[in-house]
Chain A
Amino acid sequence: MTTRTATDIAAGVRSRSLRATDVLEESLAAIDAREHEVHAFNLVLRDEARAAAAEVDLRVAAGDDPGPLAGVPIALKDVLCTRGIPTTCSSKILEKWRPPYDATVVQRLAGAGAVVVGKTNMDEFAMGSSTENSAFGPTRNPHDLTRVPGGSSGGSAAAVAAGFAPVALGSDTGGSIRQPAALCGVVGVNPTYGLVSRYGLVAFASSLDQIGPMSNTVADAALVLEVIAGHDPLDSTSIDAPAPRLDGSGDDGVAGLKIGVVAELLDGVDADVAGRVEEAARALEKGGAVVTDTSVPASRYGLSAYYLIASAEASSNLARYDGVRYGLRVDGDEITEMYKATRSAGFGAEVKRRIMLGTYALSAGYYDAYYGQAQRVRTLIIRDFATAYADHDVLLGPTSPTTAFELGAKTEDPLSMYLTDVCTIPTKLAGHPAISVPYGTGDDGLPVGVQLLGPALSERRLFAAAAALEASLA
């Protein structure tokens, strides 16, 4: 099992004390040992990864610096476009698709010397919270194979937790990086909306989707985020300003930081999870932070607003899967029959549900009551966060109301599955960043994650607080 950090690997490879090819073989050996039972990957890219690692070693030998992620094995959620390499979104409708271009983050990783080991399993089109909605079978939690890894980036979380790679990329629309990170006991970062380019991220809900890192350590997540963050002209929602510097953020400390524990995020949360949040608050206090209770009242409407907004955007985004330009086609006599046959055969049940919920929320007679109302609630949530941040630098809460649940526990009741996202959604509606940090275990011995939230572009502060929490456990 890989216990090396990305930070150590990159330093070792750049200083010639480690070889990228040897590091990669450790990853592949870990995959060979446990992938059959975890199923973190849709595709392991052995040959491509070996070629990339050999190239890194050659460059180092030639006196070049391959970059800040030199020789670091990384797993990519299968929602990120990789040129010529299958990108399925765990959907039958894209099963054979080979994108004609790389996502911007994939190019940036390659430019920094990272080695992509594979494409990870996910809930179909990132719609789900358990990675059970995959057309290619569920991923299992490496800590307990009877439990889900969370979702939708469950494959990436499991890959890091199982030691298949020290770092991975996921995507977060309502919590899809942070919730699986919490359930698998790894670090997960949802960056400020617009900080990381979405070019080449297959769209689910465009006003919410963000790519972010998952890792075993806080410093590794910062290292990866620094590489993938920054303006990209290919994404018109990309922030055209310098990205926050994260280097050295682990040494900033939390002295004097004003931290608010959000009452609404603790509402209905299991007692053992709430206990870890309380302990995290005390640890931050010990580090010199001033911790007080606070409230973001409108966040109690976040879940409903989110499922209306995200589904509405999804119903529009997923109209592109029509059997014409790429992906599955099921023949029909005329074009509408072809559309229906293709979409009915290609989409799984959860994707159909979300498309229909979104179509309904946008349809004549219901638009104002559902989609319009949800957009107004979004404004209320943004205002309430602004009020909270007037008095606090960082907010604290749980990432998930429970530890990892059993496979099959929530698949028959979509609403119960949606409720698992209740703690991660509010900050998404505001476009703000948040980090989930592993913080002990629940009564069942499974990992608990606590969540640090901040206003737009406050990443450096969040990483400082996350590092302080990590250090308090050591």
Chain B
Amino acid sequence: MGKGISREDVLHVARLARLDLTEAELERFTEQLAAVLDHAADVASLDTAGVPPTAHPLELQNVLRDDVPEPSLDRDEVLAQAPAVEDGRFAVPRILGEEA
């Protein structure tokens, strides 16, 4: 660890996160993320053998309820907030040709 994050890593991560970066952003973020990850080297290099991970502060069980329909959000009120709507549904641009 502590090897730092490369420009290619940042481009890859931006692609995963569906963000387009300008050349200036790419440069700045590479430098800033490297500094943050460098600080995180204390955690990355810690010996945690045998320590279980904590995902959540509460000891939670699954929360279930009876499978009975209940009133939900008003459809028209929800759709009124959508950028594009067609026939009572959300409308999106074509999805064919999506990158692999």
Residues of A within 8 A of B (CB): 97-101, 193-194, 207, 233, 236-237, 239, 300-301, 303-305, 307-308, 315, 319, 322-329, 331-341, 343-344, 347, 349, 352-353, 355-357, 359-360, 363, 369-370, 372-380, 382, 413-415, 418, 429-432, 456
A355–B20 alpha-carbon span in the complex (Å): 13
B interface residues, how many (CB within 8 angstroms): 55
How many pairs of A and B residues are in contact by the CB < 8 Å rule? 174
Interface residue from A193, A333, A357 paired with B36 (Cβ < 8 Å): A357
CB <8 Å contact, B40 and A307: yes
Interface residues in B1-49 (C-beta closer than 8 Å to A) = 1, 5, 9-10, 12-14, 16-21, 25, 29, 32-33, 35-37, 39-40, 42-44, 46, 48
Distance between B79 CB and nearest chain A CB, rounded to angstroms: 9
A300–B40 alpha-carbon span in the complex (Å): 11
A103–B65 alpha-carbon span in the complex (Å): 21
Distance between A307 CB and nearest chain B CB, rounded to angstroms: 6
For A298, the closest partner residue in chain B by CB is B46
Contact mask for chain B residues 86-100; partner A; CB cutoff 8 A; 1 contact, 0 none: 000010111111110
For B97, the closest partner residue in chain A by CB is A334
For A193, the closest partner residue in chain B by CB is B57
Interface residues in B67-100 (C-beta closer than 8 Å to A) = 73-74, 77-78, 81-84, 90, 92-99
CB <8 Å contact, B25 and A382: no
Distance between A341 CB and nearest chain B CB, rounded to angstroms: 7
14 contacts across the A-B interface (CB closer than 8 A):
A101-B73, A301-B42, A301-B46, A324-B90, A335-B92, A335-B94, A335-B98, A336-B99, A338-B92, A340-B19, A352-B25, A352-B29, A360-B37, A414-B32
Interface residue from B39, B65, B97, B99 paired with A304 (Cβ < 8 Å): B39
Q: A335-B95, A352-B21 are in contact. List 19 more A-B contacts (CB 8 A).
A: A97-B81, A100-B74, A237-B60, A322-B18, A333-B94, A334-B96, A335-B98, A337-B93, A343-B18, A344-B20, A347-B19, A352-B29, A357-B37, A363-B16, A378-B53, A382-B57, A414-B32, A418-B36, A431-B58
A171–B18 alpha-carbon span in the complex (Å): 27
Query: B interface, by DSSP: helix, strand, loop or mixed?
Result: loop
CB <8 Å contact, B93 and A307: no
For B77, the closest partner residue in chain A by CB is A100
CB <8 Å contact, A329 and B95: no
Distance between A190 CB and nearest chain B CB, rounded to angstroms: 12
Interface residue from B1, B29, B48, B74 paired with A353 (Cβ < 8 Å): B29
Sorted from nearest, which 7 A-B pairs have the closest CB atoms? A431-B57, A375-B53, A329-B83, A376-B48, A378-B54, A304-B43, A304-B40
Residues of B within 8 A of A (CB): 1, 5, 9-10, 12-14, 16-21, 25, 29, 32-33, 35-37, 39-40, 42-44, 46, 48, 51-58, 60, 63, 65, 73-74, 77-78, 81-84, 90, 92-99
A341–B21 alpha-carbon span in the complex (Å): 10
Distance between B66 CB and nearest chain A CB, rounded to angstroms: 12
- A352-B29, A359-B16, A369-B44 as given contacts; A325 in contact with B35, CB under 8 Å: no
A347–B18 alpha-carbon span in the complex (Å): 12
CB <8 Å contact, B20 and A360: no
A301–B51 alpha-carbon span in the complex (Å): 15
- A334-B97, A431-B57 as given contacts; A356 in contact with B17, CB under 8 Å: yes
CB <8 Å contact, A339 and B25: no
Distance between A275 CB and nearest chain B CB, rounded to angstroms: 28
Interface residue from B14, B82, B94 paired with A334 (Cβ < 8 Å): B94
Question: Chain B residues near A370 (CB, 8 Å)?
Answer: 37, 40, 43-44
A456–B57 alpha-carbon span in the complex (Å): 10
Question: Chain B residues near A329 (CB, 8 Å)?
Answer: 83-84
CB <8 Å contact, B29 and A336: no
CB <8 Å contact, B55 and A375: yes
Question: Chain A residues near B17 (CB, 8 Å)?
Answer: 315, 343, 355-356, 359
A194–B46 alpha-carbon span in the complex (Å): 30
CB <8 Å contact, A356 and B33: yes
Question: Chain A residues near B94 (CB, 8 Å)?
Answer: 333-335
For A419, the closest partner residue in chain B by CB is B39
CB <8 Å contact, A324 and B83: yes
Distance between A465 CB and nearest chain B CB, rounded to angstroms: 22
Distance between A19 CB and nearest chain B CB, rounded to angstroms: 34
Interface residue from A236, A325, A352 paired with B82 (Cβ < 8 Å): A325
Distance between A272 CB and nearest chain B CB, rounded to angstroms: 26
A355–B99 alpha-carbon span in the complex (Å): 21
